[in-house]
């Protein structure tokens, strides 16, 4: 044990004292916060640039009444100017678009199929959708009026539906809330993937370094190869956790400082970083904000924190022992390529499955399966947890993961033990299999 401690200490210090570690640790939070602010800023800029849309309405339906200018779009009725003139104006970039409703239609259906929109650049999809729905609404009204139903009655008969999402543990959730859940899950899963790759590589490089500097035999005449392997993995895992910890503290401190000094609402920044920047919180939805805050507080944050640590450590053990075995098998980093692919594929798969399956259906069969498979579970399960995963699924997933990493560490240690003393020929998979039997 004493020796294991010494090895862990050396590996940890070597990693932590490394310049790239220090730079990455202290620079990344600035980058993340900077990116967040940049996105928030760009969104603002985007919103503040007003689009001017010209309407030429020959339809006699007085459709322009329904087009009320907003903060982002300004509608100008230029029916008097005429289509040809307006086309020129739009082409000269005086306006951003031209909506044209023709006259001389036989019925409303024919009109609905002959409306045109002119613009220099392809218009943004959201805008077109909103124009389409406005016109459709107008046409519906006209149609109903024509068959004698009063506009007043139609208005009364229109309902706004806003579904309240409630789960069985009694929590109410909002759409923004599930956005935050997705965001948190994504961040956690993605972080685990990144750390496994970065720190796994660092374990591998450290093994290769010991081989190429020829110190390995000196070391293993004092300690067992397994101790050395474990020391390396644990030392690097601790360095990784330290990095997480520093980031956590820094982000909290900076966010707090920013909200304090700049008067920016803390929650807005948080949600801007985590959630898609398009989701903007407007003052009208105070209710919704309160709900979101409550939801974040309702999230099993402490459980998430511990599960994150668990999945990070277990996933890291699993993968870094494979990385170490690869490092032991080869003589230089350039020889590692052929062995890297099988390691990286499940990691990437985990992230893609997470992005695709978890968002669309966090408890569907694909997401569930991949959160049990040990090679993807650290990533996929972390993405699912914010949506609430039943405890027995978590237990199964944890159990399978631990059982697998013990098995993999055992196999990897065997390859490692033989590999570190082998120089020269680059081994094939067949050679590795043979080593297992020594």
Least gap, CB of 436 to another protein (angstroms) = 11
Least gap, CB of 227 to another protein (angstroms) = 10
Give the CA dihedral 169, 170, 174, 176, nearest 10 degrees: -40
Which is nearer to another protein, 42 or 215 (by Cβ)? 215
CB 232 within 8 A of CB 211: no
Which is nearer to another protein, 212 or 280 (by Cβ)? 212
In 10 A of CB 284, how many CB atoms? 8
Least gap, CB of 230 to another protein (angstroms) = 14
**Structure tokens of 182?**
């997705």
Among residues 40, 18, 13, 12, which one has the least CA distance to residue 279? 40
Least gap, CB of 407 to another protein (angstroms) = 22
Least gap, CB of 199 to another protein (angstroms) = 18
Which is nearer to another protein, 308 or 435 (by Cβ)? 435
Least gap, CB of 39 to another protein (angstroms) = 39
Which is nearer to another protein, 32 or 422 (by Cβ)? 422
Which is nearer to another protein, 209 or 333 (by Cβ)? 209
Which is nearer to another protein, 223 or 373 (by Cβ)? 223
CB 367 within 8 A of CB 357: yes
**Pairing outcome for strands 172-173 and 116-118:** unpaired
CB 34 within 8 A of CB 254: no
Which is nearer to another protein, 6 or 398 (by Cβ)? 6
Q: In whole angstroms, what is the distance from residue 183 CA to residue 277 CA?
A: 11
CB 179 within 8 A of CB 273: no
CB 118 within 8 A of CB 87: yes
Q: In whole angstroms, what is the distance from residue 121 CA to residue 100 CA?
A: 17
Least gap, CB of 408 to another protein (angstroms) = 23
What is the separation, in whole angstroms, between the first and last Cα of the chain? Answer: 26
Which is nearer to another protein, 266 or 429 (by Cβ)? 429
User: Within its chain, how far is the Cα of 66 from the centroid?
Assistant: 38
Least gap, CB of 6 to another protein (angstroms) = 6
Q: Which residues of 17-35 are buried (b: 16+ CB within 10 A; e: fewer)?
A: eeeebeeebeeebeebbee
CB 56 within 8 A of CB 64: no
3-class SS of residue 99: strand
Interface residues with another protein (CB under 8 A) are 2-3, 6-7, 10, 14, 209-210, 213-223, 225, 421, 423, 434, 437-438
Name the strand (E) or helix (H) holding 173.
strand 172-173
Which is nearer to another protein, 168 or 438 (by Cβ)? 438
For 292, counting Cβ atoms within 10 Å of its Cβ (0-12 exposed, 13-18 middle, 19+ buried), the class is buried
Least gap, CB of 1 to another protein (angstroms) = 12
Which is nearer to another protein, 42 or 421 (by Cβ)? 421
Least gap, CB of 223 to another protein (angstroms) = 6
């Amino acid at each position: 044990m004493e020796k294991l401690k010494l090895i862990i200490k050396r590996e940890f210090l070597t990693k932590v004292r490394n310049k790239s570690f220090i730079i990455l640790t202290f620079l990344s939070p600035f980058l993340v916060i900077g990116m967040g602010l940049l996105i928030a800023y760009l969104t603002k800029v985007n919103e503040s640039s007003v689009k001017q849309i010209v309407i030429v309405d020959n339809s006699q339906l007085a459709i322009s009444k329904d087009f009320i200018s907003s903060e982002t779009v300004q509608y100008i009725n230029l029916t008097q100017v005429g289509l040809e003139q307006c086309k020129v104006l739009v082409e000269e970039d005086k306006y951003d678009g031209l909506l044209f409703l023709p006259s001389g239609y036989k019925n409303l259906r024919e009109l609905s199929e002959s409306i045109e929109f002119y613009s220099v650049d392809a218009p943004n999809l959201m805008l077109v959708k909103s124009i389409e729905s406005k016109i459709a609404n107008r046409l519906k009204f006209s149609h109903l009026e024509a068959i004698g139903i009063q506009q007043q009655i139609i208005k009364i008969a229109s309902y706004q539906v806003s579904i309240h999402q409630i789960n069985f543990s009694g929590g109410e959730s909002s759409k923004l809330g599930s956005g935050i859940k997705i965001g948190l899950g994504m961040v956690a899963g993605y972080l685990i993937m990144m750390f496994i790759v970065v720190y796994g590589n660092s374990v591998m490089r450290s093994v290769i370094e010991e081989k190429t500097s020829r110190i390995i035999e000196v070391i293993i005449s004092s300690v067992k190869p397994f101790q050395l392997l474990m020391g390396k993995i644990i030392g690097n895992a601790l360095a990784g956790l330290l990095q997480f910890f520093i980031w956590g503290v820094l982000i909290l401190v900076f966010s707090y400082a920013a909200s304090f000094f700049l008067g920016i609402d803390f929650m807005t920044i948080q949600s801007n970083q985590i959630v898609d920047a398009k989701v903007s919180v407007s003052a009208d939805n105070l209710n919704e904000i309160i709900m979101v805050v409550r939801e974040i507080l309702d999230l099993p944050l402490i459980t998430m924190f511990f599960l994150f640590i668990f999945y990070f450590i277990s996933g890291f053990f699993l993968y870094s022992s494979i990385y170490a075995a690869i490092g032991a098998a080869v003589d230089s980093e350039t020889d590692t390529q052929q062995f890297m692919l099988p390691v990286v594929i499940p990691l990437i798969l985990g992230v893609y499955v997470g992005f695709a399956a978890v968002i669309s259906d966090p408890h569907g069969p694909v997401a569930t399966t991949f959160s049990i498979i040990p090679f993807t579970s650290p990533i996929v399960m972390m993405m699912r947890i914010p949506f609430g995963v039943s405890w027995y699924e978590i237990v199964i997933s944890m159990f399978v993961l631990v059982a697998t990493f013990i098995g993999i560490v055992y196999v990897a240690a065997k390859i490692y033990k033989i590999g570190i003393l082998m120089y020269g020929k680059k081994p094939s998979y067949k050679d590795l299999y043979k080593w297992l039997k020594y």
